[in-house]
A = this chain, B = another copy of it.
Amino acid sequence: MEELIKPLQDLVDRFRSLDGVGKKSALRMAFSVLDMSEEDAVSFAQSILDAKTKIGLCKCCQNISSEEICPICASSSRDHSLVCVVEDYQSVMALEKVREFNGVYHVLHGTISPMKGIGPDKLKIKELLERINEGGISEVIVATNPTVEGEATAMYISRLLKPLGVRVTRIANGLPVGADLEFADEVTLFRAIQGRHDI
């Protein structure tokens, strides 16, 4: 009886299919479910279904939202002429935490990656062009991650948007605050020197 009993194995397999969950964690989680009260298990199952059915994409910025227009896009106190283009919802959360950016977002849901077979048509780039064509946008900050795919996507978007007469900017590269030059990689250091400014 080395293998698990079927209902438990099924649940472990489900947990393992989640991002970043290994064999041992999945088993521990499955045991947590067994230790739950009947009610909690039912609520847990329901919350999975709710997340799938109640969450859609904001019609404007394509961010995940439980409403047709997300609270950021619906807010009148935000600058709707400034659009920050990001890869995913996690990036929106990270930027919102800073409490410095008062514009709106546009979520691409990924990056261009020929290796993974993700072309520009699979991202929400068409929707971004539509937003710009509707007018009222003066600057687009491309805040995709500074990875190979993120940079390529930023370049692609910048070439696409510049002919439309909109200002396209890219977030800065450089040393993170609190870092040590000794341990910085060469590309970051090179970018930090390139991006130097008067003090």
The chain A residues found within 8 Å of chain B, CB to CB, are 1-2, 4-8, 10-11, 13-14, 17-21, 25, 27-36, 38, 40-52, 54-55, 64-66, 70-72, 89-90, 93, 96-97, 99
B72 touches A52 (CB 8 A): no
B50 touches A10 (CB 8 A): yes
CB nearest neighbor in B for A39: B52
B96 touches A11 (CB 8 A): no
**Which of A2, A4, A5, A28 has most chain B Cβ within 10 Å?**
A5
Given known A1-B70, A48-B44, contact A54–B17 (CB-CB < 8 A): no
Q: Which residues of B contact A29 (CB under 8 A)?
A: 18-21
Q: Which residues of B contact A72 (CB under 8 A)?
A: 1
A66 touches B6 (CB 8 A): yes
CA distance A27 to B18 in the complex (A): 11
CB nearest neighbor in B for A52: B41
For the A-B complex with A7-B55, A36-B52, A44-B48 known, give 10 more contacts whose Cβ atoms are closer than 8 Å: A2-B93, A5-B65, A5-B66, A7-B66, A10-B50, A11-B47, A17-B40, A18-B29, A31-B90, A34-B52
CB nearest neighbor in B for A70: B1
Q: Which residues of B contact A66 (CB under 8 A)?
A: 5-7
Q: List 9 A-B contacts (CB under 8 A).
A: A1-B71, A20-B25, A27-B90, A34-B51, A34-B55, A41-B49, A41-B52, A44-B45, A45-B49
**Whole-angstrom distance from the CB of A2 to the nearest CB of chain B?**
5
